């Protein structure tokens, strides 16, 4: 089992109350967030995603929207998994549950996401061009197609999390 020694071992990102979005760096300038003169902003489109995750077109790529809960989220590259902290007493306890939770999760239907490389995870309300100046996490991903699936799990009586797993496709 993987151990996470001290609080702050992983980098967490939070939103102001809406969804988080993972946008490929190559198309960050095309994500307008809550800005814009359109009737429905990019942020509004992200808020319309029903369920734990969804894809939205951005420029010539797609962004991954983490819907449902505005939970603090961290990326664990060794498991290819985004961990969303819904409830739990400590970071160490929550992260310590992840390996077992990955094996017992009841996964929802997956989506296929074509990624041109590194993506930034940040509050969907922010414009992409300003995302680096706000709370964000960089996900270093190899270019290619990924199967993305999500599950809500309760590994302990007081611990709830959402797992979003990214698996490379051949």
Mean pLDDT of 74-78: 93
Closest CA to 161 of 67, 90, 94: 94
Q: How far apart are CA 101 and CA 62, in angstroms?
A: 28
- Cα separation, 123 vs 66, in Å, equals 10
Is residue 79's pLDDT more than 80?
A: yes
User: Residue 5: its pLDDT value, please?
Assistant: 38
CATH of range 12-168; options 2.60.34, 2.60.40, 1.10.3430, 3.30.70: 2.60.34
Q: Which of 16, 157, 165, 47 is nearest to 105 (CA)?
A: 165
pLDDT at 22: 96
How far is the C-alpha of 128 from the C-alpha of 124, rounded, in Å? 9
Chain segment 102-147, per-residue pLDDT in tens: 999 999 999 999 999 999 999 999 988 877 667 899 999 999 999 9
Instruction: List the single range of 22-26, 31-35, 139-143 with lowest mean pLDDT.
Output: 31-35
- The domain locations on the chain are 12-168
Structure tokens at 162: 């959402």
Residue 157, both tokens: 């009586």
Backbone dihedral angles phi then psi of residue 96, each to the nearest 5 degrees: -65, -25
Start-to-end C-alpha separation, the chain: 28
pLDDT above 70 (res 2): no
Give backbone dihedrals phi and psi of 148, rounded to 5 degrees, phi first.
-120, 125
DSSP state letter for 65: E
For residues 69 and 97, the model is more confident at 97
d(CA 127, CA 106): 34
pTM for the full predicted model:
0.89
């Amino acid at each position: 089992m993987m151990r996470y020694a001290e609080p702050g071992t992983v980098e967490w990102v939070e939103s102001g109350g809406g969804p988080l979005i993972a946008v490929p760096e190559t198309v960050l300038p095309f994500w307008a967030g809550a800005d814009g003169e359109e009737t429905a902003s990019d942020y509004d489109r992200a808020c319309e995603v029903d369920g734990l995750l969804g894809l939205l077109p951005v420029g010539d790529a797609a962004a991954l929207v983490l819907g449902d809960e505005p939970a603090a989220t961290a990326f664990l590259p060794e498991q290819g998994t985004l961990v969303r902290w819904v409830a739990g007493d400590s970071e160490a306890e929550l992260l310590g549950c992840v390996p077992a939770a990955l094996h017992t999760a009841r996964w929802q239907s997956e989506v296929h996401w074509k990624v041109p490389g590194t993506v930034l995870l940040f509050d969907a309300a922010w414009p992409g061009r300003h995302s680096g100046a706000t709370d964000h996490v960089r996900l270093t991903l190899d270019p290619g197609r990924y199967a993305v699936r999500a599950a809500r799990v309760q590994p302990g009586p007081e611990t709830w999390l959402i797992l979003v797993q990214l698996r490379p496709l051949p």
